[in-house]
Amino acid sequence: MVQKLDWLKETPSQTAGPYVHIGLTPNLLGNTGIYPEDLGRSPIRDGAKGEQITITGRVIDGSGMILRDALLESWQADAAGLYPAPNEPRGKADPNVTGWARIVADFDSGEWRLATVKPGRVPAPDGRLMAPHVSLWVVARGVNIGLQTRICFEDEAEANAACPVLSRIEHRERVDTLLAKKTAGGQYRFDIRLQGDGETVFFDI
């Protein structure tokens, strides 16, 4: 028989805003003096090796509204597919690629922008190489639990076809929601749709 636990109440959930920006990007909001600069301003430093790219996009809800208070965090490998971690067994990563960034959507347009280097392929736990990708964590108004997704690249067709993560997506037409579209040399577009037509694939991590 299941014990009645009416004395133990679930804590109410709350959205990530509006205080998430105050805590994570105070300088952006004009609250200077806490940090010299906001943490995670860029995943690369001057001298980073590899193809320099810029990814832009928006976070769009189920009604088609652009979320102007979205905040994203990104993680990636360097151009050789190495992570800047002390336990990286495959070699030493580029010291000018931290691999982590905190990205804030423009409060007026809702556009976010990530300037980085195109990551190399990294192995999955079973050793097979995944497609080049940038992992994303997304929070915004109305998002109670941060969403996990990843940016792959439409011009990496061979690597995408062999990727063990992309191959696990049952509805093959949805793979396209994880592919950043090339708009010009070194320029990519990646919109994140939370619900509805073209809903982005999110991962249970």
Query: Tell me: the pLDDT tens digits for 67-124?
Result: 999 999 999 999 999 999 988 899 999 999 999 999 999 999 999 999 999 999 999 9
Does 3 have pLDDT greater than 70? Answer: no
Is 28 in a helix, a strand, or coil?
Answer: helix
Query: Quick one: DSSP state of residue 105?
Result: -
Does the residue 205 lie in any domain? no
> Residue 1's pLDDT is what?
44
Does the residue 199 lie in any domain? no
Euclidean distance between CA atoms 187 and 204, whole angstroms: 29
Write the burial class of residue 137 (CB in 10 Å: 0-12 exposed, 13-18 middle, 19+ buried): middle
Structural domain of 49: 19-193
Q: Domain with 85 in it: what CATH number?
A: 2.60.130.10
Q: Which of the two residues, 179 and 24, has the higher pLDDT score?
A: 179
Least Cα distance to 168 among 180, 158, 178 occurs for 178
Least Cα distance to 60 among 70, 52, 48 occurs for 70
Does 16 have pLDDT greater than 70? Answer: no
Q: Which of 2-11, 17-26, 156-165, 177-186 has the lowest mean pLDDT?
A: 2-11
Euclidean distance between CA atoms 194 and 59, whole angstroms: 7
- pLDDT, mean of residues 134-154: 92
CB 105 within 8 A of CB 129: no
Both structure tokens of 84 = 């800047």
Whether omega for the bond prior to residue 18 falls within 30 degrees of 0, making it cis, is yes
Residue type, 64: G
Average pLDDT over the chain, rounded to an integer:
92
CB 76 within 8 A of CB 134: yes
- pLDDT, mean of residues 164-173: 96
Tens-digit pLDDT profile for residues 41-67: 999 999 999 999 999 999 999 999 999
- pLDDT, mean of residues 14-30: 78
Query: Percent of the chain having pLDDT more than 90?
Result: 77
- Site of tokens 């010299």: 36
Query: Quick one: DSSP state of residue 96?
Result: T
Does the residue 12 lie in any domain? no
Does the residue 204 lie in any domain? no
Query: Percent of the chain having pLDDT more than 70?
Result: 92
Query: Quick one: DSSP state of residue 129?
Result: B
Count structural domains, the chain.
1
Does 170 have pLDDT greater than 80? Answer: yes
Does the residue 11 lie in any domain? no
H or E segment at 161? helix 157-162
Does the residue 198 lie in any domain? no
